[in-house]
Amino acid sequence: DAKTTQPPSMDCAEGRAANLPCNHSTISGNEYVYWYRQIHSQGPQYIIHGLKNNETNEMASLIITEDRKSSTLILPHATLRDTAVYYCIVRVGSSGSARQLTFGSGTQLTVLP
């Protein structure tokens, strides 16, 4: 699976949009981009994933560049409860057995009041 690069930390004001970048310049054509987050003392929580089209769900939006070498996770109206470590992961989506996710060091997002 391709490696990802994320900034180690970011701050965001409460109520504003949080834009978390991720570089995955070695991503291959069949690799998906996944985002998870881990709130302190909890297990990682799935947020969203995509292949090449932008995606949106009730938690966030995922913007993937046309060349797929980078992506941005957008939390449209950050709250204090969004303070967490955010992990960007690229992984092959297979039709057979599930593949493991390899987590990097992630971005510590701190939402400030």
Instruction: Check residue 77 and report its DSSP letter.
Output: T
Residue 108 near residue 37 (C-beta atoms within 8 A) = no
Give me the least distance between CB of 16 and other proteins, in Å please: 26
- Encoded one letter per residue, x for contact with other proteins by CB under 8 A and - for no contact, window 1-30 reads ------------------------------
Q: Could you tell me which of 12, 16, 13, 8 has the C-alpha nearest to residue 88?
A: 8
- Encoded one letter per residue, x for contact with other proteins by CB under 8 A and - for no contact, window 39-78 reads --xxxxxx--x-----------------------------
Q: Does residue 98 bind other proteins (CB under 8 A)?
A: yes
Q: What residue type is 21 in one-letter code?
A: P
Under 8 Å CB-to-CB from 98, ≥6 apart: which residues? none
Q: Which residues bind other proteins (CB under 8 A)?
A: 32, 34, 36, 41-46, 49, 85, 87, 93-98, 100-106
